[in-house]
Amino acid sequence: MTDHIITIAEVRAFLKEIEGQEISLDKLRSELGIEKYDPQGNITKSFNTIRVLVHQLEEHKLLRYVNRGLYMVVKQVEPVQVFGIDREERPLFPLVFPRDIDTMMEMDFAKDVVIREGDLVTVGGVKSVGKTHLALNFIGENINIHPVLMGNEYTIILEDGKNDVAQRFYKRLKVMSITNADNGGWIEWRDEMGNDKFTLLPVDSDYAEHIVKNRLNIIDWIDLDGSRLYDIGHLLKGVKKNLGRGVGIVFLQKSGANIDPRGGQFVRDYSDLEIILDNFGDSDVLLTIRGCKEMTAPILGKTYAYHLSFKDSGTQTHNFREVKKCPACKGTGYTKQQKCEMCWGLKFVEMDK
């Protein structure tokens, strides 16, 4: 029986199926059916040939050595023509920002933010500051483009292992529903057939893999172990990569002492719009525009405040307005080692002060 010698074409064909993955030389031999010995007990020609072919593929930049016998199968790309005959600038993504329920006007900065297909919005907020309020308002205001919602606390697991809606989440949707219009509800959650106009996915990991391409995807919120915060950049890169022509809004936890959410610069690397939420007194929220890649007016660093009411389960935005650093304490909250009497330690005041 003739000893078949593996060819570089056969190896290339196999590697094309696993681009972007890692593989060892032993695993490669196994997948290609290369035995070490022939029936006579001699080392097969292919067993040694594959090592030579791997080195050739490294030179051709199809494989990249990682470590400990592992190779990364390099994902191959084709050039993208920019100025094609039929190339036209695509319209902006029709993202609607939450509204002030009293005026029904979008958050003031929305008119100056440019959101394009494939953009990623990150929202970092301290515990219980109203991240879910903002997430539900984004879902509600964009309900007619059928958004996707993933979250840690929107579903529960039943005895049979199936997922069901968490009652706290369901109650907040009912408060926001147009069927509750007499009490301020304004969102039509269901279509004419009675089906949900949004998709709720019970995802608490593998977020990037569950992104629905070309849709508005909202993740509330991403939970990472404290020792793996550096992974947030890789995760957000995966989310953004899978959006296609859609948009992602990702909510993240933040420590009150830090400006940025957990993950710091790794979060900022992939954010097209960065929003930071902090407490502002007992029941108001301070919103800061931390970063924005494309805008029509200077909004970086601007701060806004709004009120959340317990009466409507924290679902409605009231009295949205711009605020500024306190001129008396320069935003420190203190003057002469005592709490500032102008801002009462809040560091920000209304624009007319």
Q: Which residues pair with 349 in a beta bridge?
A: 324
219 located within any domain: yes
Question: Which residue type occupies 125?
Answer: G
Q: Is it the case that residue 147 has pLDDT exceeding 70?
A: yes
One domain, residues 106 and 219? yes
Question: Which residues contact residue 195 at a Cβ distance below 8 angstroms, ignoring those fewer than 6 apart?
Answer: none
Residue 106: count of CB within 10 angstroms of its CB = 17
Q: Please list the alpha-helical segments (H only) found in 69-130.
A: none
79 located within any domain: no
Angle of helix 8-16 relative to helix 45-59, nearest 10 degrees? 60
One domain, residues 265 and 319? yes
Q: Is it the case that residue 113 has pLDDT exceeding 70?
A: yes
Task: Give the closest residue to 328 by CA, choosing from 313, 345, 340.
Answer: 340
pLDDT value of residue 309: 79
One domain, residues 61 and 20? yes
pLDDT value of residue 352: 83
One domain, residues 35 and 139? no
Q: What is the pLDDT of residues 47-83, one digit of tens each?
A: 999 999 999 999 999 999 988 889 999 998 888 888 8
pLDDT value of residue 39: 86
Task: Quote the pTM value.
Answer: 0.83
One domain, residues 185 and 316? yes
- How many domains would you assign to the chain? 2
Query: Out of 23-27, 138-142, 274-278, 306-310, which region has the weakest mean confidence (pLDDT)?
Result: 306-310
Q: What percent of the chain has pLDDT over 70?
A: 96
Cα distance between residue 300 and residue 114, in whole Å? 13
Q: What is the pLDDT of residues 236-293, one digit of tens each?
A: 999 999 999 999 999 998 877 777 777 677 778 889 999 999 999 888 999 999 999 9
Place of tokens 């304490």: 329
pLDDT value of residue 269: 85
pLDDT value of residue 1: 44
One domain, residues 59 and 140? no
Cα distance between residue 269 and residue 167, in whole Å? 36
CATH number at residue 15: 1.10.10.10
Q: What is the pLDDT of residues 170-182, one digit of tens each?
A: 999 999 999 988 8
One domain, residues 268 and 157? yes
1 located within any domain: no
Q: Residue 17 is part of which domain span?
A: 8-73
341 located within any domain: no
94 located within any domain: no
pLDDT value of residue 2: 52
